[in-house]
Amino acid sequence: MGEWSSFISIVRNLSLLYVTHKYVGTAAITYGPSMLPTLNITGNVLLVERISIRTGKLRPGDVVILRSPQTPRKIICKRLIGMEGDQVTYVVDPKNSDRCKTIVVPKGHVWVEGDYIYDSKDSRNFGAVPYGLLEGRAFWTLLPRKDFGSLAPKPKS
């Protein structure tokens, strides 16, 4: 009987872990230049909650984790700039000109950009992102220790 109760305990704990990861939150590792200076080029470990996506509580300025529209197996980290129906003005090619373009984010989509626009593949490259590709909202930096703390949204400019 002891082996059976151990098995049930393991299954119960694994189920709880899975549900927590899938529906409540998880940790994510980010690296690269696209979110400088908010996140480090060498990497950050972030806490990500998934509830805001399901309840529609995301707001422009939030840092989000999403599946890349270009490489669906890849998870990327960007800042949410616009929700469906928002008018977004962006610099088309920040390395070579200051020419801007304005679009209205289509229904069921969001607009995301990296904080460091000179080295970020984001909605300026692949367009508005379907809402279904969003994985969660990053809200806390765990590592590196010097950055430990809240990852506050950046106000809309």
78 carries an active-site annotation = yes
Active-site residue, selected from the candidate residues 34, 101, 107, 154: 34
DSSP H or E stretch at residue 6: helix 2-19
Active-site residue, selected from the candidate residues 78, 146, 150, 154: 78
Domain assignment present for residue 15? The answer is: no
Task: Indicate the number of domains in the chain.
Answer: 1
Task: Please state, rounded to an integer, the average pLDDT across all residues of the chain.
Answer: 92
Domain assignment present for residue 49? The answer is: yes
Domain assignment present for residue 12? The answer is: no
Which domain covers residue 33, as residue numbers?
Answer: 26-141
34 carries an active-site annotation = yes
Closest CA to 36 of 117, 107, 97: 117
DSSP string for 95-155: TT---EEEEEPPTTEEEEE-SSGGG--SHHHH-SEEGGGEEEEEEEEEESGGG-EE-PPPP
Closest CA to 22 of 51, 58, 55: 51
Domain assignment present for residue 126? The answer is: yes
- Residue 155: which pLDDT band, with cuts at 50, 70 and 90? low
Section 110-121 average pLDDT: 95
pLDDT beyond 80 at 11: yes
